[in-house]
Amino acid sequence: MTAPIQVNSFRTGPDERGHFGIYGGRFVAETLMPLILDLERAYAEAKADPAYRREMDGHLKNYVGRPSPLYLAERLTAHFAGAKIYFKREDLNHTGAHKVNNVLGQIMLAKRMGKPRVIAETGAGMHGVATATLCAKFGLKCIVYMGAVDVGRQQPNVLRMKAMGAEVRAVESGAKTLKDAMNEALRDWVTNVSDTFYCIGTVAGPHPYPMMVRDFQSIIGIETREQMQQEEGRLPDSLIACIGGGSNAMGLFYPFLDDRQVEIYGVEAAGHGLKKKHAASVAGGKPGVLHGNRTYLLMDDDGQIEEAHSISAGLDYPGIGPEHSWLHDVGRIKFLSATDKEALAAFQLCSRMEGIIPALESCHALARLGDIVSNKPKDHLMVVNLSGRGDKDLDSVAHHLGGKL
């Protein structure tokens, strides 16, 4: 399954039924099937409508604040004494993470489809905040499902969502984290079929979500190409991003997939370690079906889904986007992992050396940086997707470091 397969292009998926190789698909209850087909149609129409694209570009520029800078991290580069390290600064977007790129596209689509009510699931709360933000801007009702554990560890984001008029519903079932929030959001959708748009936060779920979210997030990689050309006169040599569901990673990677000389690294959350509780679905899981798609999942021998664990609420999910699963199998993305402890160390290093407080999610990518760049020549250009800012994690980090920030 992991032996590289020869393919002509890595950018042709999904097929018309939503498959990336054996992954993806539309594994949903019949009640939702007509809704998903409607969404697929509506998205295809919007995509073909230049006015939709124009409006989106305007909001990306003036509301989100794009393009986000490509920043040369000089002190970290000197610290590791290897490749040149650039940060793609998604943390500087309005709402503080890459999530807004996708939410903008989906909320504009909700508006087009005449759906007055928007639901979303959230882990770290960044997707919830982005959804609450754009629902406020576009005047839509917003309900965010969030695991009760995450409500506890991401209070600042809960308050931000409430401040913008969203209703945050704490989910008490299962492990009370992202997986359970997604179950509850699906239950809401199945109940409120006529007026509700489900705004999924990552490149997962039933077709067309993985494709649609990827398309919206691809702005990250498209800008990175242009910016690196301007800065260095050529493409980067390697890319690295953290992967939970994998939307920030897919957004950076997708425009580079067919530039085969560009090395691509995805970093999963190894939690307490890959032999203990973790959230690394590729490293520790196998293909299965959950939440509308076939993909790598953490599960037991009887097909029961296992609870994931990561210090980072945004990576605390037992699955991964189906396109990532395929890109792993065909050998285009190299998957690595970082533990909670390594992420915390990277949090401190980046904050102190660059004056940038990264989200704990992004810290997983930063944690693997040293291993890779140290073995590269000084003219090697590496881009890290700094997917979000870490203000939301300060309490949690202080707690894990025993009060010593």
Q: How far is the CB of 120 from other proteins (least distance, A)?
A: 16
Phi, psi of 341 (to 5 degrees): -65, -45
The token duo for 9 is 């292009």
Q: How far apart are CA 246 and CA 181, in angstroms?
A: 17
Nearer to other proteins, 158 or 182 (CB): 182
Residue 33 engages other proteins in binding (rule: CB under 8 A): yes
Range 251-272 burial, b when 16+ CB lie within 10 A, else e: bbbbbbbeeeebbbbbbbbbbe
Q: One symbol per residue from 305 to 324: x for binding other proteins (CB under 8 A), - otherwise; what is it? A: x-------------------
Residue 29 engages other proteins in binding (rule: CB under 8 A): yes
Q: How far is the CB of 325 from other proteins (least distance, A)?
A: 14
Give, as ranges, the residues between 268 and 307 that touch other proteins (CB under 8 A).
288-292, 297, 299, 301-305
Q: How far is the CB of 187 from other proteins (least distance, A)?
A: 5
* Residue 387 appears among annotated catalytic residues: yes
Given 68, 88, 115, 121, the catalytic residue = 121
Nearer to other proteins, 27 or 63 (CB): 27
Q: How far is the CB of 30 from other proteins (least distance, A)?
A: 5
Nearer to other proteins, 151 or 185 (CB): 185
CA angle, corner 275, sides to 274 and 281, nearest 5? 40
Nearer to other proteins, 1 or 51 (CB): 1
Sign, CA dihedral 219-224-225-231, equals positive
Residue 68 engages other proteins in binding (rule: CB under 8 A): no
Give, as ranges, the residues between 173 and 232 that touch other proteins (CB under 8 A).
173-174, 179, 183, 186-187, 190-194
Nearer to other proteins, 106 or 183 (CB): 183
Name the E strands within 248-402: 263-271, 286-290, 292-297, 334-339, 381-386
Residue 245 engages other proteins in binding (rule: CB under 8 A): no
What are the percentages of helix, strand and coil residues in the chain, rounded to 5? 45, 20, 35
* Residue 162 appears among annotated catalytic residues: no
Q: Give the helix/strand (H/E) hosting 132.
A: helix 126-138
Q: How many CB atoms lie within 10 A of CB 78?
A: 10
Q: Give the helix/strand (H/E) hosting 238.
A: strand 238-242
Q: Indicate the DSSP class of residue 62.
A: I
Residues of this chain that interact with other proteins (CB under 8 A) are: 17, 25-35, 173-174, 179, 183, 186-187, 190-194, 288-292, 297, 299, 301-305
Active site residues: 99, 121, 387
